[in-house]
Amino acid sequence: MTTTQTDRTTVKRIGERGHYDRAVIDPIIDEALLCHVGTIEHGIPMVIPTLHARIGDHLILHGSPASRMLRSAKKAEICVTITLVDGFVLARSALHHSMNYRSVVILGQPETMTGPDKAAALDALVERLVPGRLPHLRAMTDEEVRATSVLRLPITEASAKVRTGPPVDDEEDYELPIWAGVLPIQTTYGPPITDPAMRSEVAVPEHVLGYRGPTGPSAGG
């Protein structure tokens, strides 16, 4: 998050500073519902939201082979940014207002996946976001797998940025009779809405009723 002054932030960087702290980076990737992918199209930056999964040391992205974003991503370096928002930081002055957040930026050149790894990556996308769902579904057909582009980006040049804790105000402002603190932000789920096109009575399964958010990597991590 852009902030206008020094914050009580922890900054961990991989790559530039040779500080490879996957213990910070991976849980942020795994908890996020989606990522934002930056590419360059005709000299102009383009940012598109998309779903992702992590399999071990790679971030998985997918889409239609016709997707402009994926076509650009196959040819040049991309930037994938993942942001979790944890709370509003309500300070005593406007300037020191901020957000508590956790974000990851990954840079690199993705590679196109093929073969059995590709099918496994598509399964991982569903199973990561909604754990327990995959066994309920019919298997993907070869045609479906062929009709999807899947890219993987090595999690090598990556950095995480985290802000936690209360506001940090100017010393003299602490005397002001202004309430200050953090207003937490959470993501919650449900209740499920059954498809009106259901043709038989099927109870809402536990993986939907008990859903508490995406989990970690579904394989290799």
Provide, rounded to whole angstroms, the least separation between the CB of residue 138 and a copy of itself. Answer: 6
Provide, rounded to whole angstroms, the least separation between the CB of residue 201 and a copy of itself. Answer: 9
Of the candidate residues 24, 53, 69, 121, the single one contacting a copy of itself (CB under 8 A)? 69
53 contact partners, CB below 8 Å, separation of at least 6: 59, 60, 121, 124, 125, 128, 129, 217, 218
Provide, rounded to whole angstroms, the least separation between the CB of residue 176 and a copy of itself. Answer: 6
Of the candidate spans 11-19, 21-29, 48-56, 110-118, the one that interacts with a copy of itself by CB under 8 A turns out to be 48-56
Can you give the C-alpha Rg of the chain in angstroms? 20
Q: List the interface residues with a copy of itself, window 141-200 (CB under 8 A).
A: 144, 147-148, 166-167, 169, 173-200
- Residues in contact with a copy of itself, counted by CB under 8 A, come to a total of 100
123 touches a copy of itself (CB under 8 A): yes
Q: List the interface residues with a copy of itself, window 14-33 (CB under 8 A).
A: 33
The residue among 5 and 112 lying less far from a copy of itself, judged by its C-beta, is 5
Two tokens at 196? 């009106």
Q: From CA 61, how far away is CA 20, in angstroms rounded?
A: 22
Question: Which helix or strand (DSSP H or E) is residue 45 part of?
Answer: strand 44-50
Q: From CA 21, how far away is CA 23, in angstroms rounded?
A: 5
Of the candidate residues 13, 31, 79, 219, the single one contacting a copy of itself (CB under 8 A)? 79
The residue among 154 and 205 lying less far from a copy of itself, judged by its C-beta, is 205
Q: What amino acid occupies position 92?
A: R
116 touches a copy of itself (CB under 8 A): no
Q: From CA 32, how far away is CA 104, in angstroms rounded?
A: 10
46 touches a copy of itself (CB under 8 A): yes
What one-character DSSP code corresponds to residue 103? E
Q: From CA 211, how far away is CA 83, in angstroms rounded?
A: 21
Of the candidate residues 9, 93, 164, 215, the single one contacting a copy of itself (CB under 8 A)? 93
82 contact partners, CB below 8 Å, separation of at least 6: 28, 29, 32, 34, 35, 36, 52, 103, 104, 106
Provide, rounded to whole angstroms, the least separation between the CB of residue 57 and a copy of itself. Answer: 21
Of the candidate residues 134, 154, 164, 221, the single one contacting a copy of itself (CB under 8 A)? 134
